[in-house]
Every structure is written in structure tokens, then in C-alpha cells.
Structure 1
Amino acid sequence: MSDLSGKAFLVVGATGALGSRIARLLAGRGADLTISGRSADALAALGIDGAHIHSADLREPDAPRSLVEAAVTQHGRLDGVIIAAGVVAFGPVTDIDDDTVDDLVLVDFLAPLRLVRAALPAMEAGGVIAGISAVVAEQPLPNMAVYSAVKAAAAALFTAVRTEARRRKIRIVDVRPPHTETGLADRAIAGDPPKLPTGLDPDAVAARIVEAVLGKETDVPSAAFS
């Protein structure tokens, strides 16, 4: 899949630091793109020529299905889905209120589950679904307990679905990058981030994710980025 001419990809979370870079890399290889985020204006501002824009709020139960349907309708096929959307929250578990828990679960776990569920029956054989969880799925951290647990649940989902998807000849990739300079920590939906070491370059992380998507990998742990 190194030459993606004629292949259709859906990039969810395309306005984020990683999602935008991944979308541009895929477009540069000739892929037909549907890009999604909450803001249509922000998606248009990415300036990816020919990209089909479909804004959606992943907290809405029907949003994942509508995204998959929009991509298939636009391109006539679907060969890949990149799930790069996510939110983060900080603080002791006793300080994380129910609304914050709900948003974490909706965006970081239920949305990927619903995207996988909608995409698998619609995808072409030989396609790929890549979910970006996080290093905290491997190493849960204090003051990030709820976020760590939700990301671990997403990683478990991708691992378990991988075997189911083989029957459809679809590859499931779970990517767990270390802390990366995406700015996500500064946009936390609750709490203040701890002092973090300098993270990885998002350009390098995005390139590594695309390498995994276009290759044969199914599991890309944090150690694969060192």
C-alpha cells in the first residue's frame, strides 16, 4: 500500500497534531481522503487538496457510523481508517467528576469501538484500521488513572478485534506512542498537566504511524518509537 492511488482513507481527529500530519502524509501518497473533526472550518484550514470534509462530534452515538457512511459514499470504497481523535484529563481519581469520565469514555473508548464496528463491514479486503491509544495503556500513571484506564480499554479492544477482523482480511493496528509534543496536555478537559519531559517530535511520530499503517505491523508499542 505504499502507493495509495485509488485507495480511500478516513482520518478521524484530522485537526489534531498527529491526525493532520497523518492526513497530509496519506494525501501525499495519493490516497483519497475523508477527514473529520469537530470543526468544519478547522478542517478546511488544513488545506489538503481534494480532501472530503465531514465534521462530527464523537460524543454523539451515531457520529462514527455517519463518518464511515460519508466516506464510502464519497469515494465508493473504504480501505483505511485512522483513529487519531482523543481527549485527556488530569487529577486524582477522587477529583474526576462524572461528566469528565463520560467524555473520556465517549471519545477515547466508545468512539473507537463504534468506528471499528461501523467500518469492518464496509471495508475492502486488505484494508487497515489503526487506533492511536497511548503509552499509558502500557504504564498507567497516578493522577491520570481514568485516562490510563480508558486508553488501556481501547488497546484491549484493538487487540481482541484483531483476530475477528482477520476473517474479513482487515488488519487492526494498535499504536501506543510515548509522550509527544502535540499540545494535547495543554487542552485537557479537566485538571492541570504534571511537569512533563520534552516529548517526541510529532512529525516523526506521524511518519512512524504511517509506516505501520502501510506495512504489515499490527502492534506498535511505545518502545517502537525509540
Structure 2
Amino acid sequence: MHIEGSRVLVAGATGVLGGALTAELVGRGARPVLAGRDAGRLAAASARARGAPTVLFDAYAPSSCARAVRAGAAELGGLDGVVTAFGAVAFGRAEGVGDEVAEHLMAVNFLAPAAFFRAGLEVMGEGSVLAALTGSVAERPPPGMADYSASKAALAAWLGAVRREARGAGVRVLDIRPGHIDTGFADRAVAGTAPPLPAGADLHGVAAAAVDALVSGAELVRTAPDGTPVVERRAG
């Protein structure tokens, strides 16, 4: 994707990671539309992003995710990319995490991004890209995070199938799998208390690697053992 002038919807743009991705996109000349659930925080994010347009969505209502994509496309005259950078987390042993929490995690971390991407496939064409933050837990689920990891792994599996489906239409799918990033996310868990976590990866390094991957046509961003992001052309 040619980044200069590209039209990219960032869902979760009011969050720490979504904000870093937005700043990286704006710094490279992209034209983002910012999606979030809080109008006040969206207005502040827009001010930081040179007045980028905004749209509202509720991650627990998939139909609102699809409407956000269509509204963003209408605002910018089309979309070249849709990026999801939001989610929910819960901690605790598998037998202690209730069914309602597990359902919430699956709705926010899998079904909502999938709704964004289904709508994206309807409005975007050849040369466009779908990109999601899944995280390293999608492939290396740690103890105490079974349901959270399962929701991210579900999204990663879905992306893998869609990647193969969409190649014929010239639409690329990017899976961004960073390790732990200290964004305060763990302090806002819907259930449980975070276990000891490793040192956080560099937020701006991850954001830069993600945009590098968007530009280069890569399909995967992962974290190396030393914590640095690695961009891979093929996801396998």
C-alpha cells in the first residue's frame, strides 16, 4: 500500500496503541478516520491527528462496527485500509473465569474486529489491506489468560482463512502480534488481576513496524526473543 494519501480507518484510535498507530500514519502522510466509542476522547484524538474525521462504534454491537466502516468510507471517498487496535482482557484460571466474561472477550476481541473486516471487504478493492492487533498470546497462550488468549487465537485463525480468500481480489491481511506492551491495558481487566508480566515492548517501535508492514506488503509482525518487532512477508 502506498502510504502517502492512503485512507485508513483506525478502530480503537483513542487507546494508547491505536493512538500510536494513528500518529505514525499521520506522520507518514496517511489520511486516517478515527473510530472509537467515546465522542469526547475521539474529539481529542482528532485534534492530535490534524483534524481527522471520526466515527463512533460499540465493540459489543457488531452492526455498529460495520456502520463505522461504511461511514468512514463515505467520509474519505473510500478506504485503503482498516486497522483494529482495541480489545478487552481478563485474568484468572480457566475454572474461575465465568461464562459471561468468556463471552464478553470473544465478542470484543473476535466478533467485533471480524465485523469491521467483513464491512471492509465490501467497500475496499484491490491493493487494500485489513490489519489486526492479535498479540503473541494468539500463538503462545500463557497460564492465567486462557479465555483472553482463545479470543485472540480465534481472530488469528479467522484472519488466516480470510487471507487466503482475499488474495484473489488483491486484498491483503496483516496480523500484528506484539508481545506485552505497557499501555495500562492490564489494569483495566474485566475480571481478575494481572500476573507478573515481562517488560513491555517499545510502543512506538511496534507502531512503526506495523506501518512498515502495511507499506511493504507483509502479512505478519511478530516479536523477536529480544523484544524487537520483526516484519515478515508471509504469515505461513
TM-score for the superposition, normalised by structure 1: 0.95
Counting only pairs closer than 5 Å after superposition, residues 24-103 of structure 1 correspond to structure 2 as 24-46=23-45, 47=47, 48-103=49-104
CA distance in 1, matches of 2:211, 2:28: 11
CA distance in 1, matches of 2:62, 2:124: 20
Q: How far apart are residue 30 of structure 1 and its match?
A: 2.2
Query: Which residue identity is paired with 2:147?
Result: V
1:12 paired residue number: 11
Tell me, yes or no, if structure 1 residue 121 matches structure 2 residue 122: yes
1:211 paired residue number: 212
Contact 1:33 1:50 in 2 (8 A): no
Q: Secondary structure at the match of 1:167?
A: helix
Contact 1:36 1:56 in 2 (8 A): yes
Query: Which residue identity is paired with 2:37?
Result: R
Q: How far apart are residue 63 of structure 1 and its match?
A: 1.4
CA distance in 2, matches of 1:216, 1:69: 24
Query: Which residue identity is paired with 2:9?
Result: L
Q: Structure 1 residues 88-97 or 25-34, which shifts more?
A: 25-34
**Which structure 1 residue ranges, 5 or more long, are not aligned?**
none
1:222 paired residue number: 223
CA distance in 1, matches of 2:160, 2:75: 30
**Which structure 2 residue ranges, 5 or more long, are not aligned?**
231-236
Query: Which residue identity is paired with 1:181?
Result: D
> CA RMSD, aligned part only?
1.4
Q: Secondary structure at the match of 2:56?
A: coil
Query: Which residue identity is paired with 2:33?
Result: T
Q: Secondary structure at the match of 1:27?
A: helix
TM-score for the superposition, normalised by structure 2: 0.91
Query: Which residue identity is paired with 1:24?
Result: A
Q: State, as a whole percentage, how many aligned pairs show the same letter.
A: 43
Contact 1:15 1:42 in 2 (8 A): yes
Q: Structure 1 residues 97-106 or 70-79, which shifts more?
A: 97-106
Question: Runs of at least 4 residues of structure 1 off by over 4 A?
Answer: none
Q: Secondary structure at the match of 1:126?
A: coil
1:141 paired residue number: 142
Cα deviation, 1:102-122, whole Å, max 9, x if unaligned, reads: 210111000111111111121
Q: Structure 1 residues 187-196 or 27-36, which shifts more?
A: 27-36
Q: How far apart are residue 61 of structure 1 and its match?
A: 2.4
Contact 1:2 1:29 in 2 (8 A): no
Cα deviation, 1:186-224, whole Å, max 9, x if unaligned, reads: 111110000112111211111111111111111223336
Query: Which residue identity is paired with 1:112?
Result: P
Q: How far apart are residue 2 of structure 1 and its match?
A: 4.7
Q: Secondary structure at the match of 2:86?
A: coil
Counting only pairs closer than 5 Å after superposition, residues 143-222 of structure 1 correspond to structure 2 as 143-222=144-223
State the number of aligned residues.
Answer: 225
CA distance in 1, matches of 2:119, 2:39: 22
Cα deviation, 1:13-66, whole Å, max 9, x if unaligned, reads: 111111101111112222222111111111111221131111211111211111
Contact 2:34 2:52 in 1 (8 A): yes
